Amino acid sequence: MFYVKNVPNWERILRIVMGAMALVFAAMNWGISNLAVGMGIMGAVMAMTGLVGFCPMCALVGRKLGKVR
């Protein structure tokens, strides 16, 4: 199924970078705390929404990309 992208390019880059940082944090602290597990899941979701360009939570609230003139 194809989805209409609802995340702008600048936000996609930001989501990929922040997701990668969260995944690195989770990998470094995996056995130490439960926070690392949560950060790993959050980082994976952020990175995937950045790579795909579609965010289901943004779609729930009706966010759409406007065309810039």
The DSSP result for the chain, as a single string, is ------S-HHHHHHHHHHHHHHHHHHHHTTTT-HHHHHHHHHHHHHHHHHHH---HHHHHTT--PPPP-
Of 69 and 9, which is predicted with more confidence? 9
Of 66 and 42, which is predicted with more confidence? 42
Residue 6 has pLDDT above 60, yes or no: yes
Say which residue the tokens 């936000």 belong to.
Answer: 11
- Does residue 17 contact residue 68 with C-beta atoms inside 8 Å? no
Residue 67 — very low, low, confident or very high, per pLDDT cuts 50/70/90? Answer: low
Give the whole-angstrom CA distance, residue 40 versus residue 27.
8
Residue 3 has pLDDT above 60, yes or no: yes
Extents of the domains making up the chain: 9-60
Q: What are the pLDDT digits (tens) for 22-58?
A: 999 999 988 788 889 999 999 999 999 999 999 888 8
